[in-house]
Structure 1
Amino acid sequence: MRDDSSRAVLLAEYEALKAEQTSRIVLRDRLMYAALAALAATLALVVQPTGRPYLLLLLPLVCVVLGWTYFVNDQKISAIGRYLRRHLAPSLVASTQCADQVLTWESVHRRDPLRRLDKSMQLVVDLLMFVVPALLSVVLYWTADDVRADLLVVSIAEALGTLGFAARVVVAADLSVRVQGTSRL
């Protein structure tokens, strides 16, 4: 009976983690649309004939905040997957005494021969979505005719913050093909 109750707890944990992972995936994907909307709105404001280049400085803040939220959600999604592969699956295998037949999807999809290419492209898209517009808007502000000293300081801070964010995204990129953790998963 003890094996049945521990198995039930493990399965409940799996279901809860998959539900959290799914909700984070939905939020993460919606953040891309929010970033596109913010980019369009900022560009619409900037191209107005009144010439307010300082509005360009809104975009780095929006891009980094949305990008960081996207990044953190993506990290949690990956962390849940790692936990399922490395900890929960072996516990379920031990509780059911079946060999390697538990939560195989958590590892199998990572063995796709195009995974490294897909992950590399995702890194490029993430940088194009959250970093490039922010840096371009700062550079465009710097080339404007009426750059104010106080906003120049703000723009430099935004550029540095954006570059720091970009470095963090690149360092965290999981471009591996091999499933890390247990060899059977």
Structure 2
Amino acid sequence: MSDKDQIIEIFFKEYDKLKSEQAQRIGFRDNLLYVTLGLFATIVSFAVSNSSNYYALLVIPWVCLILGWTYTVNDEKISAIGKYIRYKLVDKVKEHTGYTNLETLFGWEIAHRNDKHRKRRKVQQLIVDEITFVFSGMIALLAFWFSVSQPPLAVTILSWVELLLLIVLGVEMLIYADLAEGR
């Protein structure tokens, strides 16, 4: 086997490993939505079971923040792997083989980004993500504020910090949303 063939084999092994990591991250990221919804149901059920439990509503923003940030980081890594394959790995293979037809070289990595409905789907997913991880936390805060009259000052400050952090998360989700089309 020539050095050139060995290098190409290494590139394809790298591709396999990247696709494997990407698939694992996709599964983990998508399961975070279900875990989040399950936790919401559990917390809300407890909170509304007795008026003395309304303080439990303040847990929901933390769930939103922790799982929402984990979701966002995984989503960004999924996109980064795709971008690395499209821009770096494709170029490495082209350089070592002289093959220039991008559509057949790792074609799926490019083709799925050219779908005419991709941008609409990505915007819809961003809306779902914002509703799940940001607005749900805000609704929990509103429910708390309207349900608990005169909470201790420390709790009020905590709830405002939660609101601020949820806004930051919402902005970060928007920044990291991979809405671009094409390669």
Q: How high is the TM-score relative to the length of structure 1? A: 0.92
User: CA separation in 2, counterparts of 1:14 and 1:121?
Assistant: 29
Q: How do 1:1-185 residues align onto structure 2 when only pairs under 5 Å count?
A: 1-100=2-101, 101-146=104-149, 147-179=151-183
Q: Percent identity?
A: 34
**Matched AA of 1:89:** V
Q: Which amino acid aligns with 2:46?
A: L
Query: CA shift at 1:91, angstroms?
Result: 1.3
Amino acid at match of 1:83: Y
Asked if the contact 2:72/2:176 (under 8 Å) is kept, the reply is no
For 2:137 and 2:108, how far apart are their aligned partners in 1?
37
Aligned match of 1:183 = none
The count of aligned residue pairs is 179
Q: Which amino acid aligns with 2:145?
A: W
SS at match of 1:131: helix
Equivalent position amino acid for 2:147 in 1: A
CA shift for structure 1 position 42: 1.1
Tell me the SS of whatever aligns to 1:156: helix
Provide the secondary structure at the position in 2 that maps to 1:52: helix
Q: Which has the higher helix share?
A: 2
Q: Distance in 2 between matches of 1:167 and 1:120?
A: 14
Instruction: Structure 1: state its 5+ residue gaps.
Output: 180-185
In the TM superposition, residue 131 of structure 1 has moved relative to its aligned partner by 0.6
C-alpha deviations, 1:1-39, integer Å up to 9, x for none? 110111011111111111111111110011011110111
Residues in 2 aligned to 1:159 and 1:145: alpha-carbon distance in whole angstroms: 17
CA RMSD of aligned residues (A): 1.2
Unaligned stretches of 5+ in structure 2?
Answer: none
Amino acid at match of 1:34: V
The answer (yes or no) to whether the contact 2:64–2:137 under 8 Å persists in 1 is yes
Write the deviation string for residues 30-53 of structure 1: whole angstroms up to 9, x where unpaired. 101111011101110111034321
